[in-house]
């Protein structure tokens, strides 16, 4: 297992992708220890001085006016965790939970949360031992933080709740023991520091972003293959066209299409053909996919900023001894980013499905009907295109913005909420649909290229063709298509087309 040192507030997008994909062993940068200790000491001084401060010796939310006696503050923290374990639904995936734990340690490690270093260490020890809390996927509205899901995470620390380890489901105390830990007794403020924050919404948004990034790269490759399979033109990808518009993603993706198509004997065979223009799903790929890329990158920047934020409440400023109540827990930036990703991701599928449909049309593609010999006896890819259309229709439904909704909670104390959590969570469902939509196009484009033999495609696209053919052979006669779709979709999910396209959300 590789390792990653968390320097609080300094995780890059590459770090975040690695946390999600690889689950490296985690350590906290020693330089953060001083600020963490100072923050906890500030909370202790406030209690010793007999001051009443929200979140430390008061109730929570609408119960903030209730002062809690000093001798019951530990009880208060445990009760807070227990009462907020109200999540429902299927558990979040292990890679998402690991990322949540890393983000939580990252935010707490900045030293503004009043939590002891040993609590952060316990969280990281659980993650490193592969003991991952069972976190229900539903129950957060993305304001006052992701309270319910983070409560389920925190419950394991106090020896309650449940966790997974190597496929085994453990009760909280046994889970802590499996990591070599005793259950944690939370000090004042620590329960609230753990529960308050946007780490679940942010982790889900990042997970969706990274999955869609892979779909995006595969769709660039698929789009280039379809251009060649349908004997389309590479003229619309000329750099001079895109320089006149000055959208960076448009020029960058146009360059990808030029590189992927360079050296194609299929293209060379019809340089003087009588086709005047290609359909928009071929010709306007840089304009659409470039816009998608620009907006994915903007959203990625917002999610990276939030991943490094301190988003609990109240916040501790040890240099002045102040503890301030604010609203950094409100996940509106995440909600907006997730909505933006959803909208542009849907366009990846919209273009891909249209290109697949175009390959079915003999009047445009000049290929055999439904890309198979003996059409009539064989139906070829007819229903595969229907599957792509059905998946894309579902995906479009998922683009409805979550951030425009708000339902007040906590007796109207929390009267505006972000709905970021489910807004981010749906991105994973969208990515699963889109992998299959693009997989169908890859299968159809590969079939089309093979049907052009003895003409050959470009060297770059020959690599992509080999990647498809490694899991899905040429379609001689009708067979079940579903296994091929799932196999190619799995290759997309594994990043098989990432290097061929070579685009990332970090920026060009």
Q: Which residues are catalytic?
A: 54
Total number of residues shown for the chain: 508
485 close to 384: Cβ distance less than 8 angstroms: yes
Closest CA to 144 of 334, 416, 345: 416
Closest CA to 215 of 302, 93, 345, 344: 345
Phi, psi of 27 (to 5 degrees): -135, 155
Phi, psi of 222 (to 5 degrees): -60, -40
- Please list, in sequence order, all residues whose beta carbon lies within 8 angstroms of the beta carbon of residue 223, skipping any fewer than 6 positions away: 257, 282, 285, 289, 351, 352, 355, 441
3-state secondary structure of 9: coil
How open is the CA angle 143-146-147, to the nearest 5 degrees? 100
Instruction: Give CA separation, 190 vs 52, 56, 165, 332, 352, in Å.
Output: 16, 9, 25, 24, 48
316 close to 43: Cβ distance less than 8 angstroms: yes
HSE-up of residue 348 (Cα within 13 Å, Cβ side): 35
Closest CA to 193 of 42, 295, 65: 42
Helix (H) or strand (E) holding 369: none
Sign of CA dihedral 215, 217, 218, 222: positive
CA distance 5 to 433: 34
CA distance 310 to 481: 48
Q: How many CB atoms within 10 Å of residue 75?
A: 12
Radius of gyration of the chain (CA): 26
Which residues on adjacent β-strands are paired with residue 409?
414
8-state DSSP, 414: B
Closest CA to 349 of 261, 440, 423: 440
Sign of CA dihedral 110, 112, 113, 118: positive
Q: In terms of DSSP bridges, do strands 3-6 and 25-28 run parallel, antiparallel, or are they unpaired? A: parallel
3-state secondary structure of 382: helix
Phi, psi of 49 (to 5 degrees): -80, -5
């Amino acid at each position: 297992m590789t390792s990653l040192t968390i320097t609080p507030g300094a995780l890059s997008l590459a770090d975040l992708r690695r946390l999600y994909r690889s689950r490296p062993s985690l350590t906290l940068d020693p330089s953060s220890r001083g600020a963490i200790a100072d923050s906890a000491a500030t909370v202790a001084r406030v209690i010793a001085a007999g001051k009443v401060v929200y979140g430390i010796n008061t109730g929570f939310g609408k119960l903030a006016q209730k002062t809690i006696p000093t001798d019951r503050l530990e009880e208060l923290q445990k009760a807070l965790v227990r009462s907020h374990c109200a999540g429902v639904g299927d558990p979040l995936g292990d890679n998402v939970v690991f990322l949540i734990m890393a983000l939580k340690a990252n935010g707490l490690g900045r030293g503004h949360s009043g939590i002891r270093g040993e609590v952060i260490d316990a969280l990281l020890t659980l993650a490193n031992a592969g003991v991952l809390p069972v976190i229900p996927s539903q129950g957060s509205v993305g304001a006052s933080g992701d309270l319910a899901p983070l409560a389920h995470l925190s419950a394991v620390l106090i020896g309650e709740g449940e966790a997974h380890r190597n496929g085994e489901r453990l009760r909280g105390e046994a889970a802590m023991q499996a990591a070599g830990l005793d259950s944690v007794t939370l000090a004042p403020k620590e329960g609230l520091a753990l529960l308050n924050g946007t780490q679940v919404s942010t982790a889900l948004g990042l997970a969706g972003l990274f999955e869609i990034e892979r779909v995006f790269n595969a769709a660039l490759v698929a789009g280039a293959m379809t251009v060649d399979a349908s004997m389309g033109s590479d003229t619309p990808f000329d750099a001079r066209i895109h320089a006149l518009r000055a959208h960076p993603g448009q020029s960058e993706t146009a360059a990808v299409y030029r590189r992927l198509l360079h050296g194609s004997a299929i293209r060379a065979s019809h340089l003087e053909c009588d086709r005047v223009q290609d359909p928009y799903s071929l010709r306007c790929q840089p304009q659409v996919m470039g816009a998608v890329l620009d907006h994915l990158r903007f959203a990625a920047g917002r999610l990276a900023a939030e991943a490094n934020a301190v988003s609990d409440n109240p916040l501790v400023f040890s240099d002045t001894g102040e503890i301030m109540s604010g609203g950094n827990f409100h996940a509106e930036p995440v909600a907006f980013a997730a909505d933006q990703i959803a909208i542009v991701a849907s366009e990846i599928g919209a273009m891909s499905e249209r290109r697949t449909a175009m390959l079915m049309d003999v009047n445009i593609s000049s290929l055999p009907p439904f890309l198979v010999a003996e059409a009539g006896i064989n139906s070829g890819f007819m229903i595969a295109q229907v599957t792509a259309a059905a998946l894309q229709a579902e995906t479009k439904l998922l683009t409805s913005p979550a951030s425009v909704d708000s339902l007040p909670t906590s007796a109207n104390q929390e009267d505006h909420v972000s709905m970021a959590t489910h807004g981010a969570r749906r991105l994973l469902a969208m990515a699963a649909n889109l992998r299959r939509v693009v997989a169908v196009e890859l299968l159809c484009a590969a079939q089309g290229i093979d049907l052009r033999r003895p003409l050959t495609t470009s060297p770059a696209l020959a690599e992509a063709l080999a990647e498809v053919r490694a899991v899905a052979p040429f379609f001689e006669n009708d067979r079940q298509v579903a296994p091929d779709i799932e196999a190619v979709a799995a290759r997309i999910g594994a990043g098989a087309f990432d290097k061929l396209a070579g685009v990332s959300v970090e920026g060009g």
